[in-house]
């Protein structure tokens, strides 16, 4: 299965969901309104930077600036197919903090092609948030049947 998903609690009320199609392969979901107020929550999946697809990958990551450098608070989470070592990811997320880095977990792998290599792979799944939103917890959890590990983080919103 390819794409993104978001699970929402009923208490968020009437949240608006926009499906963004400006990415090269995977649509993203942008949630706003209801109990979220001005906060934007985005579920994102970029193209992988494989031979022949690097320009599309860079273009996907450049879209992140609309949330990280935008005027409203935002949380952007998903599979970015990039580590913080990639300048394209750092440029796209300028204005956002990485939850893993905030908790001293920036090198915990989230991807590997096989279960044996998953503990040595890169961290390409991230949760980013604009200034004022801070990670209180960060954990990576194995998921049976997936080449990715789940990211679970608790974020504190500004008062």
Beta-carbon contacts of residue 96 (< 8 Å; ≥ 6 apart): 64, 67, 68, 74, 76, 128, 129, 130
pTM of the model: 0.94
Instruction: With beta carbons less than 8 A apart as the criterion, state whether 108 and 137 touch.
Output: no
Q: Give the H/E segment covering residue 16.
A: strand 16-20
pLDDT in tens, 19-67: 999 999 899 999 999 999 999 999 999 999 999 999 999 999 999 999 9
Domains and CATH numbers, the chain: 14-156 (3.60.10.10)
* Full strand arrangement of the beta sheet holding 96-98: 16-20, 28-32, 40-45, 74-79, 125-130, 96-98
Least reliable range by pLDDT among 63-72, 114-123, 138-147: 114-123
- CA 76 to chain CA mean position, Å: 5
pLDDT in tens, 98-109: 999 999 999 999
What is the pLDDT averaged over residues 68-97?
Answer: 96
């Amino acid at each position: 299965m390819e794409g993104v998903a978001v699970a929402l609690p009923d208490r968020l009320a009437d949240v608006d969901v926009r499906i963004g199609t400006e990415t090269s392969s995977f649509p993203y979901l942008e949630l706003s309104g209801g109990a979220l107020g001005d906060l934007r929550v985005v579920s994102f999946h970029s193209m992988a930077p494989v031979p022949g697809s690097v320009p599309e990958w860079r273009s996907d990551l450049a879209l992140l600036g609309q949330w990280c450098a935008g005027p409203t608070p935002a949380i952007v989470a998903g599979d970015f197919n990039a580590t913080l070592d990639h300048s394209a990811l750092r440029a796209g997320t300028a204005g956002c903090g990485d939850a893993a880095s905030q908790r001293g977990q920036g090198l915990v792998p989230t991807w590997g092609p096989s279960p044996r290599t998953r503990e040595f792979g890169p961290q390409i799944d991230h949760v980013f948030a604009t200034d004022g939103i801070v990670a209180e917890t960060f954990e990576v959890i194995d998921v049976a049947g997936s080449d990715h590990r789940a990211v679970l983080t608790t974020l504190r919103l500004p008062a």
